[in-house]
Copies of this chain bind each other. A is one copy, B any other.
Amino acid sequence: GFGVNTFESSMSFDEFKLNSDGMLTVVTQDYKTNEVLMVAYMTKEAFEKTVETGIMTYYSRSRKELWTKGDTSGHYQYVKSLTIDCDKDTLLAKVEQVGNACHTGSYSCFFTDLVKKEYKDDNPMEVFQSVYDVIMD
């Protein structure tokens, strides 16, 4: 079930490499299926609030303010893990997503395929996922 956890990070925000806007790029992923839900950005304040509260907080570039996702929609993201990449410029967050990640009502923000090769037949993980979905129904 859902549950808030507070954490301590093994690395400080000051050790990360920021983008040209002075922010850290964050990829947020469903912790069970590994589906990528969204990409957003964090300031130091957003990162520290995320670690302290166990709930994803980003920096809204359009509203220019801290943005705890779910505060208006209820669609909170509970942190399961935070992992930094080899050159320390991108954070990967695995989360338990309440409701949908996308403001359009889609579970993930990535729903517009530009190109797609058919590969479902080679993909045993999708079979397992189907079996699991049936079991859970």
When A10-B114, A21-B20, A92-B110 are in contact, do A32 and B83 touch as well, CB less than 8 Å? Answer: no
Query: Is B79 touching A117 in the complex (CB atoms < 8 A)?
Result: yes
**CA A20 to CA B92, docked complex, whole Å:** 21
When A10-B113, A21-B20, A86-B104 are in contact, do A119 and B38 touch as well, CB less than 8 Å? Answer: no
Chain A interface main SS type: mixed
Interface positions, chain A 63-104, Cβ under 8 Å from B, are 79-87, 89-92, 102-104
Query: Which of B27, B80, B112 interacts with A119 by CB under 8 Å?
Result: B80
**CA A87 to CA B82, docked complex, whole Å:** 24
A134 at the interface (CB under 8 A from B): no
Q: Which residues of B contact A25 (CB under 8 A)?
A: 25, 39
Query: Is B125 touching A33 in the complex (CB atoms < 8 A)?
Result: yes
Contact size range, A: 35 or more
Query: Which of B33, B90, B128 interacts with A39 by CB under 8 Å?
Result: B90
When A82-B113, A110-B92, A117-B5 are in contact, do A132 and B128 touch as well, CB less than 8 Å? Answer: yes
